[in-house]
A and B are shown apart, each in its own frame.
Chain A
């Protein structure tokens, strides 16, 4: 049993417990904004988990993953605008559209590898971004306000903040569990084998292209689901969430948390987004320590610190936070 009590497992359980108890804390202190913030974190963690499936396990570095968040969100937004409010129609359709887009883009992109793959996924997501800007009927550049969250009738009410948070958290945990099952299945082993040596996998008779394509589609659909949740969370969808820098953020979350670790991206998403919230305060505090008073406007420049920090993580901590936790076990 002692093998279960590694620093890493303790950390993961603590993080899940923290996420689960968060609304209670918010209720006790009255800081309800924290639930809103963490709903967003949980949703983006889901997107990062889906990206990790193709990037961490399949070795397919997709730089266009935010496009699926946008597709999922836009399906909800467009259907809501056209008067179809039922979640039973909206959600499956959103997943279907994300899956079909992943299928067609994947069929093209997976013909290439390496840098080409990075740039092509980037270019296709940029294409979707411009298409969304071109959709004048659905808000174009300004985005589309969603009047009403998906309607699940009497079964589930999405409009309650706390309930919605728990729904997102449960869906995230299911996604993580699903991913764990996938990567340890025969299918997942083929995908991972393809990452280490694709030619060898083909030589022993696996049609790696098909396996990778299916993997790409699964990741696209999971990310589409996070888009569905995000649109319902913010009641708004705009091209900005598909901007390529958002795809970059997702990659950062995955690498920060630990690539190729099932739970890593969740840690990465929480770490990055909490850091984004906390860095401005940290800068304010640091300037207070250094010059004795708060430097006006210094807080705004948190990206000046975040950027080099990313560079350092890349250079010195390849396994991400999860890698550090793993190493803690070995010592």
Chain B
């Protein structure tokens, strides 16, 4: 039971991370109608920035703040130089163009930081574990991830639903011509939204940096999971992305931990340990397939699509 709770927490932590990526993806898709494969590269760049700035300033928090700002700037620069030219074109063009950006960013990172990965060490007070429930100890840093991401999600909600900029963002999503006609600088709005998405991806990257090694291509596999999340949640819906990330995170973590044991109840030990890992990595995709069959538009379809 204790193990189960721990795995659930792991699942929520993964889900929170996925939410940060998926929120940016779904914002960019919902507003600019752009499929951005290079989102994973922004995640990677966030992690590299965090590792560099933390080593530079000697403080994890200062490094993280600087990295967040830098990701925002990189995102806006990429939007102005490359992404802007892809709006209004075919989705295949988006795929190809941003695929080119991935190759570019991977090489650029190798050029700047070298082919070897980097590590980012945490301040000592974050290394310990705390008792979250009687008998359940959980690493502080993973709790920090969960809590800060929840705060970010809340801020994002306030930004999109309660502020003037958010109002413009929502207006841009439902009718971009009208927003432009009303005298809003839609180009600037798009740049800001893309930068916001980049900052969210960079934030996910820098939060994950101390747990994983910071390396080239680290954003590529998690990007696909983020795609699965926004398909399940409904493309363009931030609320859907939030719910779907937690579902996907929980299924992935709990499935990996318990499916092999569950299979042992029905199959021989040998077969279960062969099938277990393969099946548990399939589970979220099977969930996605099921969603597609029963609710092709996702759990929380964005109202205007």
A interface vs B, CB < 8 Å?
55, 61, 63, 108-109, 111-112, 114-116, 118-120, 122-124, 126-127, 130-131, 133-137, 244-245, 248, 251-252, 255, 300-304, 306-311, 313-315
**CA of A235 to CA of B216, assembled, Å:** 28
B interface vs A, CB < 8 Å?
29, 35, 37, 82, 85-86, 91-93, 95-97, 99-108, 110-111, 220-221, 224, 227-228, 230-231, 235, 274, 277-279, 281-282, 285, 288-289, 292-293, 296
**CA of A109 to CA of B91, assembled, Å:** 16
Please classify the interface of chain B as helix (H, G, I), strand (E, B), loop, or mixed, using the class held by over half of its residues.
helix
Q: Are B285 and A108 in contact (CB under 8 A)?
A: no
Q: Are B104 and A119 in contact (CB under 8 A)?
A: no
Q: Are A308 and B282 in contact (CB under 8 A)?
A: no
CB contact between A311 and one of B100, B106, B224, B285 (< 8 Å): that residue: B100
Q: How far is the CB of A20 from chain B (nearest CB, A)?
A: 31
Q: List 9 A-B contacts (CB under 8 A).
A: A116-B231, A135-B274, A251-B92, A301-B110, A301-B111, A304-B108, A309-B100, A311-B82, A311-B100
Q: Are A248 and B99 in contact (CB under 8 A)?
A: yes
Q: Are A251 and B95 in contact (CB under 8 A)?
A: yes
Q: Are B100 and A301 in contact (CB under 8 A)?
A: no
Q: Are A303 and B282 in contact (CB under 8 A)?
A: no
Residue in A61, A123, A251, A313 with the greatest tally of chain B CB atoms within 10 Å: A123
**CA of A133 to CA of B105, assembled, Å:** 26
**CB closest residue in chain A, given B108:** A304
**CA of A134 to CA of B277, assembled, Å:** 5
Residues of chain A with a CB closer than 8 A to B111's CB: 301, 304
**CB closest residue in chain B, given A135:** B278
CB contact between B97 and one of A120, A122, A300, A315 (< 8 Å): that residue: A315
**CA of A109 to CA of B105, assembled, Å:** 30
**CA of A143 to CA of B298, assembled, Å:** 36
**CB closest residue in chain A, given B105:** A307
Residues of chain A with a CB closer than 8 A to B227's CB: 119, 122-123
**CA of A100 to CA of B97, assembled, Å:** 32
Q: How far is the CB of B213 from chain A (nearest CB, A)?
A: 16
Q: Are B100 and A308 in contact (CB under 8 A)?
A: yes
Report the 6 A-B pairs with minimum CB-CB distance, sorted nearest first: A307-B104, A310-B100, A134-B278, A307-B103, A130-B281, A127-B285
